[in-house]
């Protein structure tokens, strides 16, 4: 499901940019800065930052299904036209009932990479999609385990939890970037009001803080993968979940062929060491398999 988080983060960034531009055009930057007597009203600034930060994450959540379909070209199966499509819909329906969630939309998208993802703004209005590459390269038992993994993400409410975490992250990125912009503008550029130095510094600081803050979201994502794997094992069998992950690992070869902005949404994830690991949405597959093998 590396696609789910990557698309959500990309949408969130785009929404924040649009909101920031709107703030500028509407002349609300003074309110966002929270100026008071030439200084900063930190309480006011924090409140406004939270409103914008959470608005960005919740708008991203509401757009998640539409954005996923548009980015991948996923086609929802409305009326199955083949035995494979009928099996996919039937399997997801059975797993959704077991997990206690509403029936997700089921879709297939054209990609040689074996991958799948789930997204949606709540447990009863979600989307589960698989790639043509996954259907071609895995057995039915392995595909069923992958579907169970994605259904578990929906049942666990991972998108909503991610939205809340991203909202907090957005809040502090906006809040701290304005403080840095204020300090640099007054100490370095010595502006009487707020000049270009403030705006340039704020934008740079927001980008830097945003990159650093994304490591928090990625850490959360890695932890949720273990839980989704356990859910897939419960719905489709532990050995089938292990086999599916092992198959993905054998075909991964250190590459992820999903679009870059979607790479955190698919089940296969990626590989990485050192600092790169901080930005990984998924633990290494070997660790995920080991965790499943420890389940009694």
Give residue 49's pLDDT: 86
Give residue 261's pLDDT: 38
Give residue 42's pLDDT: 83
At 265, give phi and psi (nearest 5°): -105, -15
Average pLDDT over residues 183-193: 74
Average pLDDT over residues 179-184: 88
150 assigned to active site: yes
Q: What does the DSSP 8-state code read for residue 103?
A: P
Q: How far is CA 27 from CA 22, 33, 174, 239, in A?
A: 8, 11, 17, 59
More confidently predicted of 103 and 271: 103
Identify any residues that bridge with 107 across adjacent strands, giving them in sequence order.
76, 129
**Reported pTM:** 0.81
What percent of the chain lies above the pLDDT cut of 70? 79
Grade residue 266 by pLDDT with cuts at 50, 70 and 90. low
CB crowding 182-209: b at 16 or more within 10 Å, else e: bebbbeeeeeeebeebbeebbeebbeeb
pLDDT exceeds 70 at position 193: no
- Return all residues near 124 (Cβ < 8 A) that are at least 6 apart: 101, 102
> Helices 42-72 and 2-25: crossing angle, nearest 10°?
130
> Looking at 85, 150, 192, 249, which residue is catalytic?
150
More confidently predicted of 179 and 147: 147
| CA dihedral angle for residue 228, residue 231, residue 233, residue 234, rounded to 10 degrees | 180
Give residue 263's pLDDT: 44
Which pLDDT tens digit goes with each residue over 71-107? 999 999 999 999 999 999 999 999 999 999 999 999 9
Give residue 36's pLDDT: 47
Give residue 192's pLDDT: 63
Give residue 188's pLDDT: 79
Average pLDDT over residues 270-282: 71
Which pLDDT tens digit goes with each residue over 19-34? 766 766 666 666 555 5
Give residue 25's pLDDT: 66
């Amino acid at each position: 499901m590396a696609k789910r988080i990557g698309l959500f983060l990309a949408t969130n960034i785009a929404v924040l940019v649009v909101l920031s531009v709107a703030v500028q055009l509407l002349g609300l930057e003074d309110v966002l800065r929270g100026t008071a007597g030439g200084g900063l009203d930190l309480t006011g600034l924090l409140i406004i930052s939270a409103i914008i930060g959470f608005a960005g994450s919740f708008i991203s959540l509401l757009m998640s299904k539409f954005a996923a379909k548009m980015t991948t070209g996923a086609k929802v199966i409305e009326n199955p036209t083949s035995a494979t499509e009928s099996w996919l819909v039937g399997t997801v329906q059975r797993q959704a009932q077991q997990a206690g969630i509403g029936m997700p939309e089921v879709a297939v998208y054209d990609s040689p990479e074996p991958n799948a993802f789930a997204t949606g703004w709540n447990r009863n209005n979600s989307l589960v999609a698989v790639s043509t590459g996954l259907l071609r390269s895995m057995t039915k038992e392995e595909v069923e385990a992958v579907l169970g993994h994605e259904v578990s993400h929906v049942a666990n409410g991972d998108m909503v939890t991610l939205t809340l975490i991203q909202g907090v992250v957005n809040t502090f990125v906006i809040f701290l970037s304005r403080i840095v912009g204020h300090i640099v503008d007054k100490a370095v550029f010595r502006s009487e009001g707020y000049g270009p130095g403030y705006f340039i510094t704020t934008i740079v600081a927001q980008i830097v803080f945003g990159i650093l803050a994304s490591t928090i979201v990625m850490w959360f994502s890695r932890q949720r993968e273990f839980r989704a794997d356990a859910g897939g094992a419960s719905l489709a069998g532990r050995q089938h979940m292990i086999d599916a992950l092992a198959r993905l690992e054998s075909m991964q070869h250190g590459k992820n062929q999903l679009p870059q902005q979607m790479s955190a949404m698919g089940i296969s994830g990626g590989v990485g060491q050192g600092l790169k690991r901080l930005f990984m949405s998924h633990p290494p597959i070997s660790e995920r398999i080991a965790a499943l093998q420890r389940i009694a």
